[in-house]
Amino acid sequence: MKPITLIGTGLAGYTLAREFRKLDAERPLVLITADDGAFYSKPMLSNALAQGRDPDTLVSADAEKMAADLNATVLTHARVERIDRARRVVVHARGEQAYGTLVLATGARPIRPPLQGDAADEALTVNNLDDYRRFRRRLDDKRKIAIIGPGLIGCEFANDLLETGHACDLIGPDAWPVSTLLPQPLGERLQAALAERGARWHLQDSVIAIDHADPGYRLRLQQGAPIEAELVLSAIGLRPDTRLAEAAGLSVRRGIVTDRLLRTSDPDIHALGDCAEAAGLVLPFVMPIMHAARALAKTLAGEPTEVHYPAMPVVIKTPACPLAVAPPPRDAGGEWRYESDDQGIAARHVGKDGKLLGFALCGDRVKQRMALTRELPPLL
Ligand SMILES: Cc1cc2nc3c(=O)[nH]c(=O)nc-3n(C[C@H](O)[C@H](O)[C@H](O)COP(=O)(O)OP(=O)(O)OC[C@H]3O[C@@H](n4cnc5c(N)ncnc54)[C@H](O)[C@@H]3O)c2cc1C
pLDDT tens-place string over residues 329-375: 888 889 999 999 888 999 999 999 999 999 999 999 999 999 999 99
Q: How far is the CA of 237 from the centre of ligand 1 (A)?
A: 13
What is the predicted pLDDT for the residue at 1? Answer: 82
Task: Identify whether residues 158 and 105 lie together within a single domain.
Answer: no
Structural domain span for residue 363: 322-375
Do residue 161 and residue 205 come from a single domain? Answer: yes
The reply to whether omega before 185 is within 30° of 0 (cis) is: no
pTM beyond 0.85, yes or no: yes
Q: What does the pLDDT average to over 80-84?
A: 98
Residues 286 and 199 in one domain: no
Gap between the Cα atoms of 43 and 327, Å rounded: 19
Q: Is residue 315 part of a domain?
A: no
Asked if residue 310 belongs to a domain, the reply is no
Q: Residue 46's domain is classified under what CATH number?
A: 3.50.50.60
- Could you tell me if 167 and 266 lie in one domain? no
278 neighbors 251 (Cβ within 8 angstroms): no
Residue 116 per-residue DSSP state:
B
Flag whether 199 is in a domain: yes
Specify the amino acid at residue 249.
G
Q: Is residue 311 part of a domain?
A: no
Say yes or no: CB of residue 12 within 6 Å of ligand 1.
yes
pLDDT at 126: 98
Contacts of 163 (CB under 8 A, 6+ apart): 49, 50, 197, 319, 320
Pocket test for ligand 1, best of 66, 160, 274 (most atoms within 8 A of CB): 274
User: Per the domain annotation, does 306 fall within a domain?
Assistant: no
Cβ proximity of 201 and 195 under 8 Å: yes
Same structural domain for residues 207 and 169?
yes
User: For 280, left (φ over 0), alpha (ψ -120 to 50), or beta?
Assistant: left
Residues 84 and 174 in one domain: no
**103 CA → ligand 1 middle, Å:** 15
- Nearest CA residue ID for atom 3, ligand 1: 43
Q: How confident is the model at residue 65 (pLDDT cuts 50, 70, 90)?
A: very high
Task: Name the strand (E) or helix (H) holding 287.
Answer: helix 286-300
- Looking at the fold, whether 28 and 138 belong to one and the same domain comes out as no
Residue 291 beta carbon below 6 angstroms from any ligand 1 atom: no
Q: Which of 268, 300, 332 is the last residue of a domain?
A: 300
Same domain, 31 and 65: yes
| Rounded distance between C-alpha atoms, residue 226 and residue 230, angstroms | 13
Q: What is the pLDDT of residue 121?
A: 96
Contacts of 227 (CB under 8 A, 6+ apart): 146, 169, 171, 202, 218, 219, 221
278 lines ligand 1 (CB under 6 A): no
- For the chain, the domain total comes to 3
Compute the distance from residue 15 Cα to the ligand 1 centre, in Å.
12
Q: What is the CATH number of the domain that holds 337?
A: 3.30.390.120
Which of 255, 270, 300 is the C-terminal boundary of a domain? 300
